[in-house]
Amino acid sequence: MRTLLLGMAFMLGLTLSSSLFAEDTKSLRMVIMDPLAKEHSCPCVAGYAQRNYRALAEHLEKHSGYKVEIAFNESLKKSVEEDPAGRADIVIGKHSVIVYEANKLKLPLRPSYALSDLKGSTTMSGWIVVTKDDPAQTLKDLAGYQIIFGPEECDEKYAAAFAAFKKAGITPDKPYEIAPACGEACSGMLKKAETGKSAAVISSYAAPLVEGCGTIPKGSIRVVAKTDPVPFIEVFLNQTMDEAVREKIKEALEQVATEPELLKALESLTGFDEILIPVTQPLSQKESSGPSSNGNWTGWRGPARDAIVGWLPASFDQPPKKLWSFPLSRQGLGGVAADAQTVYVTDRDPDDQLDLLHAVDIETGQERWRFTRPAAGRLDYGNNARATPMLTSTQVMFLGAHGHLDAIQLETGKLSWGMNIAELYGLEAKLPWGYSGTPVLDGKTLIASPGGVLAGMAAFDTESGDELWVTESSPPAYGSYVILEAGGKRQIVGVDSTHVRGFDAKTGEVLWEFTPESTDDFQVPTPIVWKNHLILVSETMGTRLHRFDEKGHLDPKPVAVNFDLSPDTHSPVVIGDRLYGINEVLLCLDLTNGLKEIARVKDDRYGSHTSLIASGDRLLVFTHDAQLQLFDVTQTPLKLLGRHQLLDGEYGLLTHPAIVKDKIYVRGSTTLAAFQLLQ
């Protein structure tokens, strides 16, 4: 009963929070959880860990017009409980800690900006340390050591640390010892090292303070290894606030970069960098808890159009186990989609007059249903669909190469609604390859690119098929669009035959546009979001890194260009701060250093086309002749863990595989096949 009453009181607090804010829109409550705030730290290291958030509060009041009440607390739960209305409008602190606590409290907080440090970085890492005289030199040397980790809500000291040990082939002994703070971890490790072997995981940002504050003797510890970077200090905004209020806050945060004294007070080089949010949240690249973290593959390049999964195998010694195959009539270009029950793949009939969509049982490989429709015509590279089927909770959206767009019921395969967007919107541009870009889903809105004289882009209600909005005429290219948030606007971003554009996702209004230097490209690769940047790739202009400004407009002038990565049809992937792409060779480019090449891998199989799928530490390559390769990307040069031929006699495959849990589904010339990725 006490728990129930507390829960009811908490939910009442959330309700009061929303209503009180609505009545008093001149008041904001900002919760500071940053461990480097001077209220949470000590002045033991000159010029460090003394961030003045009261100065930020004054800045927000000045530029937003709202009174800012500031609360310092290392616990989000305690901070919410301390406020009579249970408010937390702005929360600033460690990303993983806020996410962990907000999920438990069911608070609608979303990361909006990342605070850079004095070097311009917005990430940190975990440091694995030993005593200064310990013989260990690498992680592998720590086998049999007693490891002291940090709390599970601190990614750098827990999830990222376990991932680092896993890569090194070490399984720490259970039960795991957890230290609540870095100083306690170091002190405990030094004490245990007197009688045995011990190591500790601490936060990189805390390292200067552990010795500087006298918690342990100076020079008594040594760093053996570092984990992969994880996000550090971020600004979370409460989504129950009015949108106009959030806009005022964002405008004020973006102005910090122009205030030298405020940057100094916050110990920051560039201030707050906007965090771009894809329409569907991708799996965290650092969370590789196992195959169960790989959810449904709902469309082109997965749920977030980034080809990122939560898990890929640690090793690749054994070939993937073939589970079943399903026959197809003709070679196709469209990718595979899959949910927990069904795999969806496009096809044509033997007479090449009908578009087909097969729904195949994910366990048995037997056809559950088949959808057909007349779609006569003649295109280069055949008439099969180029677009990947797109899944909602109840329907699959199917775009054919000749412009037929249908919504089909998942359970029955029956048509909910359909149209031909080429005929409906007056397509006049010649499309020798047909419609190739996969439309994009934004909740219950489907956005396609008819490219006709009556509409360049068109949005439809997924349930009814009713038109929601259209844009002015613009001929289409052959690529797919992405959805992101920049400048407080949910945008549809992509490339047509002549422009790079960003549209308001709600209205179709053109928010910004520019003409690239070359308009001869076919514009097949999908744009890629990285932090507050957009990566554009094409065959003549190479790879370009563009930055969004504070208004959410993309700067036409790229901040970096690399002409070595210039693929015709291939879409690269981002892992951390590195871009991986293939153009005859596999390239790894540094996104933080002008797209400078870090590594390259040569292979004749990369010549025509490849598809890439990535996790936080692995890169899976599916070649044009159906070979599967797995790389460890934590090492430089990249380490090939193994290669296995999935299908024989293939050449020139352009289709993208799908991964659900530990299964991969690939399309060959005349077959759809399922394989189990062995752990």
**Is residue 349 scored above 80 in pLDDT?**
yes
Non-local (6+) Cβ contacts of 312 within 8 A are: 288, 613, 614, 615, 617, 618, 620, 630, 677
Confidence of residue 299 (pLDDT cuts 50, 70, 90): very high
Mean pLDDT of 652-659: 92
Using only C-alpha atoms, what is the Rg of the chain?
26
User: Is-contact 192 163, C-beta < 8 A?
Assistant: no
Virtual CA dihedral for 57, 61, 62, 66, nearest 10 degrees?
170
Dump pLDDT digits (tens) for 424-456: 999 998 888 899 999 999 989 999 999 999 999
For position 287, what pLDDT does the model report? Answer: 43
Whole-angstrom CA distances from 445 to 207, 335, 414, 463 are 48, 21, 20, 9
Q: Is pLDDT at 645 greater than 70 in this prediction? A: yes
The model's pTM is 0.67
- CB 8 within 8 Å of CB 103: no
Question: Can you give the pLDDT at residue 277?
Answer: 53
pLDDT value, residue 14? 38
The span from the CA of 303 to the CA of 659, in Å, is 11
The region of weakest confidence among 204-218, 516-530, 587-601, 647-661 is: 516-530
> What gap in Å lies between CA 343 and CA 358, rounded to an integer?
8
Task: Give the CA dihedral 607, 332, 415, 369, nearest 10 degrees.
Answer: -110
Task: Tell me if 250 sits within 8 A of 276, measured CB to CB.
Answer: no
Higher pLDDT, 285 or 435: 435
Contacts of 209 (CB under 8 A, 6+ apart): 41, 42, 44, 45, 48, 49, 182, 183, 215
pLDDT digits (tens, 9 = 90+) for 39-74: 999 888 988 999 999 999 999 999 888 999 999 999
Q: Is the pLDDT of residue 77 over 50?
A: yes
Name the pLDDT band for 529 (thresholds 50, 70, 90): very high
Predicted local confidence at residue 7, as pLDDT: 35
- Show the tokens assigned to 441: 């889903």
With residue 210 as reference, give the H or E element that holds it: helix 207-212
- Angle 120-559-597 from CA coordinates, rounded to 5°: 85
CA distances from 482 to 260, 479, 485 (A): 35, 10, 10
Closest alpha carbon to 109 in 124, 96, 123: 96
Question: What average pLDDT does the structure give for the chain?
Answer: 90
Which has the higher per-residue pLDDT, 13 or 108? 108
Q: What pLDDT, on the 0 to 100 scale, is given for residue 289? A: 54
On the question of pLDDT at 411 being above 90, the answer is yes
Question: How high is the pLDDT of residue 646?
Answer: 96
Q: What's the confidence (pLDDT) of residue 372?
A: 96
Kind plus residue range of the DSSP H or E element containing 613: strand 610-614
Q: What is the distance between the alpha carbons of residues 666 and 151, in angstroms, rounded to a whole number?
A: 40
Cα separation of 89 and 21, whole Å? 9
Q: Can you list the alpha helix ranges (DSSP code H) found in 310-379?
A: none
Q: What is the pLDDT of residue 175?
A: 82
Do 164 and 129 form a contact (C-beta atoms < 8 A)? no
- In the chain, % of residues over pLDDT 70: 94
pLDDT exceeding 90 applies to what percent of the chain?
A: 71
- Classified as helix, coil or strand, 90 is strand
**Which residues, other chains included, contact 370 with Cβ-Cβ below 8 Å and sequence gap of 6+?**
356, 357, 358, 359, 413
| Segment among 2-11, 151-160, 452-461, 662-671 with least mean pLDDT | 2-11
For 44, phi and psi rounded to 5 degrees? -75, -25
Beta pairing, strands 627-632 & 618-623: antiparallel
For residues 577-587, b (16+ Cβ closer than 10 Å) or e, as one string?
Answer: ebbbbbbbebb
Task: Please report the domains of the chain, with CATH numbers, ordered by start residue.
Answer: 2-121+232-274 (3.40.190.10), 123-230 (3.40.190.10), 291-676 (2.130.10.10)
Lowest mean pLDDT among 85-99, 187-201, 349-363, 511-525: 511-525
pLDDT digits (tens, 9 = 90+) for 547-570: 998 889 999 999 999 999 999 899
pLDDT interval class at 246 (50, 70, 90): confident
